[in-house]
Structure 1
Amino acid sequence: MDNLIINKLQLIGSKVDLLSEGFNIIYGSDENYQFGVGVSVVSLLVNNPSTFFRFHLFLDVVKPDFLDKLSKISEQFSAEFNIYQLDNTLLKTLPASEVWSSAMYFRLIAFEYLSNDYDYALYLDADVVCQNALNLSTDVVKDVIAGVIADDIGVRGKSGMRLGVQGFNETYFNSGVMFVNLKEWHNHHITEKCFELLSVPNAKELYKYPDQDVLNLILREHLVLLAQRFNAIYTLKNELSDSTHQKYKSVITSDTALIHYTGVTKPWHTWSKYPSAKPFYDALASSPWTENDLKPAIKFAEKKKEYKHLLKQGAFFAGCISGIKYLFQKVRGKKDNL
């Protein structure tokens, strides 16, 4: 495990008490999602001002500009950052897609690696944004391996049928938020077991959501379900069918602590400025990043979404241009496959 980590860096605010116990937060991200990680970090700090956070970032690419921004955050909010640069070569041999890169497996490395030094940690995907105090006690996971949040009911039912586990109708969880008892994780060899399942020849066909599926299969007898407020799953795709842009309030409520923006369109995309994404923009305003850093559509899957949102927002010229670019790439892709 250690040989996958090729470099380690630490950034600590000058006013941090080095003897503080701290609350451990883990992120695993490739370069494309690091902007999201940064804003997610700030959302936690802004909404939990009395908590000392120790952030652990497992990344494949570490650039000076990103480190500079993290340094500013550590100083402004008295936080600690531990950055671990990974050699991603072996992980790239596991199932992945255009939407989910091999960075989804960084959490598996992180849980095992950190179990040597820490007892508990909260893992968050880069597209998770905090809008309230966490108020999350380690007591809830002292007797299990992980505290997790059940996925949407439709996902649970389909996943149970796919994987042949009837109980998943109730317990199949989304792996974007996991509160982990690191010692128990290590004692049960969870990372090793996950990689064993992911390494079988037909893993890509077996597991629609690779890391999430195998985690559910392995942890189903060792977890506790946490309240939905810790992983309110919302997709910005919903805005395309909601002319009021207010229906999100049935998912993102005043009690919600962590919002998980699933799907291709993320709140950091240039075409996603909806009321439902306000918690992201609130955190962005308190961060070293600005709206100038919002990301345009790069991947084919993103371009497929961009033009639809632009047209929905009344940006007809920009939407048409985006649509033409998408169709051109679509046709070109078909020709390349002939």
Structure 2
Amino acid sequence: MNNLITNKYLIKEYTNSHDAALSCLDVIYGSDENYQFGAGVSAVSALINNPNTHFRFHYFLDKVDSNFLEKLKVISKQFLAEFYIYELDNESLKTLPASDVWSSAMYFRLIALDYLSADYDFALYLDADVMCNGVIDLTADLIADKICGVVADDIGVRTKSGTRLHTPELTETYFNSGVMFVNLKKWHERQVTEHCFERLSEKDAKQRYKYPDQDVLNLILKDDLVLLNQKFNAVYTLKNELSDSTHQKYQHVITPETVLVHYTGVSKPWHTWANYPASKPFYQALAQSPWSTVDLKPATKFVERKKEYKHLLKQGAYLSGGLSGIRYLLEKLNGKRK
């Protein structure tokens, strides 16, 4: 699978070396074009919350946008961070299970973790919708001789997943794959990437795995992982805001101790309809990034339109919400669901 990488870029917009006393952390993102904005702001969120850490960011992308590269140069110069960009030929991955919500970009992490094992020992993988809210105090000794450190999902998800995948042990260990602290050498030794693609290539894979990459990772790694503190993957969906008129209940999930906030679901903090108090970690990073509120994304997909109009109406934006709702209804009637 390493032959999928067609181009590499290095961005390092400073000449002085970083302070040798600083710890160094390699952070990996896998993203298609739709999520690059989020992945860029996510990196800034890590930088502003961890001034005593030197970061090497690794982006695995299907399309490398020149504007995105220019913004990474600004970040590199401002924060003395390194960026490594790897462009992928994504065609062969498109034969694997995917959906309107999860594109084949979900498999980029599998390519990245195996590819980087040749040069690095440990790395933190983050989905583009994960924002940093504190100090990432993850060290190699936390995972010792295991393949990776992960955060167990909530009990409801774990129970359903254990039943769905006919693996009772997952009731205790089923994790969300959006945050993984990985021992890269052991990942490669145990051929995790190869085993994942073997399972994902089976004839009934699309029917068997509801969350394709996540399900197979859970099955393969269930005996070789360490469960980390919940603060490293606080899962929050902005859909909750539709039923919370106070917009304060998020504080039960995103607390002062939370280090990494994972915004799951269709609505992301970078969407034009998602400016809630719960999105604060994103907006704090956005304010110190080369991006601005002008770059916030409107709905472009059917599944996004379905959420956009509901949030706009909830916020009292009746004209724009109504227009969005009409577009959604027309798309639904015309069978346009892409």
TM-score normalized with structure 2 length:
0.97
Who is 1:141 aligned against?
143
1:245 to 244, 247, 253: 247
Residue-pair matches, total: 335
Secondary structure of the corresponding residue to residue 265 of structure 1: coil
In structure 2, the partner of 1:165 is 167
| Cα drift, residue 3 of structure 1 | 1.1
2: distance between equivalents of 1:2 and 1:158? Answer: 34
Which residue identity does 1:70 align to in structure 2? L
CA distance in 2, matches of 1:157, 1:45: 36
Q: Distance in 2 between matches of 1:13 and 1:249?
A: 38
**Is the Cα–Cα contact under 8 Å of residues 56 and 82 in structure 2 kept in the other structure?**
yes
Q: Which residue of 2 aligns with 1:68?
A: 70
Of 153, 172, 177, which aligns to 1:151?
Answer: 153
Map of 1:103-142 to 2, 5 A cutoff? 103-142=105-144
Residue type matched to 1:183 in 2?
Answer: K
* Counterpart residue type for residue 206 of structure 2: K
Question: Secondary structure at the residue paired with 2:335?
Answer: helix
- Supply the AA of the counterpart residue of 1:274: Y
Task: Provide the residue aligned with 2:198 in structure 1.
Answer: 196
1:178 aligns with 180
Distance in 2 (CA, whole Å) between partners of 1:141 and 1:115 is: 16
Amino acid at match of 2:273: W
Separation of aligned partners in 2, 1:156 and 1:124: 21
**1:151 Cα deviation from its structure 2 partner:** 1.1
- Distance in 2, matches of 1:81 and 1:118, equals 15
1:207 alignment partner in structure 2: 209
Give me the CA root mean square deviation: 1.3
**Partner SS state of residue 311, structure 2:** helix
CA distance in structure 2 between the aligned counterparts of 1:19 and 1:245, rounded to whole angstroms: 41
- Secondary structure at the aligned position of 2:120 is classed as coil
Q: Which runs of 5+ in 1 are unaligned?
A: none
TM-score (norm 1): 0.97
What aligned pairs does 1:41-56 form with structure 2 within 5 A after superposition?
41-56=43-58
Q: What CA distance in whole angstroms lies between the structure 2 residues aligned with 1:275 and 1:93?
A: 39
How far apart are the structure 2 equivalents of 1:207 and 1:152? Answer: 19
Matches within 5 A, 1:278-293: 278-293=280-295
SS in 1 for 2:9: strand
SS of corresponding position for 1:32: helix
2:12 match: 12
Residue aligning to 1:234: 236
Identity %: 66
Deviation string for 1:300-335 (max 9, x for gaps)? 00000000000100111111111111000000007x
1:298 matched to 2:295: no
Partner of 1:327: 329
Runs of 4+ more than 2 Å apart: 18-22
Work out the CA distance in 2 between the residues paired with 1:61 and 1:289: 19
Q: Deviations over 1:19-55 (max 9, x none)?
A: 9572100000000000000000000000001100000
How far apart are 1:63 and its partner, in Å? 1.2
Specify the SS of the correspondent of 1:24: strand
Amino acid at match of 1:13: E
Determine helix, strand or coil for the equivalent of 1:121. Answer: strand
Contact 1:15 1:75 survives alignment (8 Å): no
Mapped partners of 2:305, 2:155: distance in 1: 28
Residues 244-294 of structure 1, C-alpha deviation per residue, up to 9 Å, x if partnerless?
Answer: 000000000000000000000000000000000011000000000000000
The one of 252, 262, 273 aligned to 1:271: 273
* Aligned twin of 1:84: 86
Secondary structure of 1:271's counterpart equals coil
Taking the aligned partners of 2:19 and 2:289, their CA distance within structure 1 comes to 26
Q: Is the 8 A contact 2:18 2:80 kept in 1?
A: no
| 1:16 Cα deviation after fit | 4.8
C-alpha displacement of 1:15: 4.2
Contact (CA 8 Å) 2:31, 2:61: kept in 1 or not? yes
Q: Distance in 2 between matches of 1:16 and 1:297?
A: 42
Letter in 1 for 2:128: A
In the alignment, which residue of structure 1 is the partner of 2:264? 262
Q: What is aligned with 1:23?
A: 25
Residue 35 of structure 1: aligned partner: 37
Structure 1 CA distance, aligned partners of 2:204 and 2:221?
A: 21
- How far has the Cα of 1:18 moved from its partner? 7.2
Measure, in 2, the Cα distance between the counterparts of 1:188 and 1:87.
25
Cα pair 1:16 1:79 within 8 Å, conserved: no
Amino acid at match of 2:140: T
Please say if residues 13 and 77 of structure 1, whose CA atoms lie closer than 8 Å, have aligned partners that are also in contact: no
Distance in 2 (alpha carbons) for counterparts of 1:142 and 1:85: 32
CA distance in 1, matches of 2:145, 2:73: 36
2:54 and 2:225 map into 1 onto residues whose CA distance is 26
How far residue 169 of structure 1 moved from its aligned partner, in angstroms, is 1.4
Partner Cα separation in structure 1 for residue 319 and residue 27 of structure 2: 42
